Amino acid sequence: MTSIPRGGLRPGAGRPRGTGAFGEPTTPVRIPESRLAEVRTLIARPRRPAAPELEWTGEPDASAPGLSLPLFASRIQAGFPSPADDYVEGKLDLNQHLIRNPPATFFLRVQGESMLGAGIHPGDLLVVDRSIEPKHGAVVIAVVDGELTVKRLWLATPERVELRAENPAYAPIVIGEFQQFELWGVVTSVIHPLLP
């Protein structure tokens, strides 16, 4: 009877460190099963490509405490709402208002002028949700040939995909058959500062 060795290194088993799907060494960790989907979403997120038009600003910090400020019930026309408590509708936390799905959300800052017609200006902050299915007419973040861009998704036919600017100075980007193209997410909100 032949004995089979147990334990230890087996010739030919495993692969050299750093040659897996991530191209770098990995470390096993224990994750609660309830958080597994969030971690998989985070890992599946592509690395940041060059962004001549957008600046990566990060992701929401889910562990940060919320900040709730008064929300006035009265509509404002040209003045300041009454500070009387009778007009306070409740408290509003902008994190809850702007971020639907924190694990799938990230922020980008705009650097170009191609989307001025959509109310997106240089310096604006975009809230992007990767969990929303991009549809015709949505403002999306896309990677085209390694460059990150924000444009309106235009699906005139199933065979023709265009990314349209909201500025006549910029021509539509028609996605060719052999172009690198990936949709990163849908822009859900634009934060436009009024002070420099």
Which residues are tagged catalytic? 114, 151
Length of the chain counted residue by residue = 196
* Closest to 148 in 3D by CA, of 67, 51, 73, 63: 51
* Closest to 156 in 3D by CA, of 141, 140, 137, 138: 137
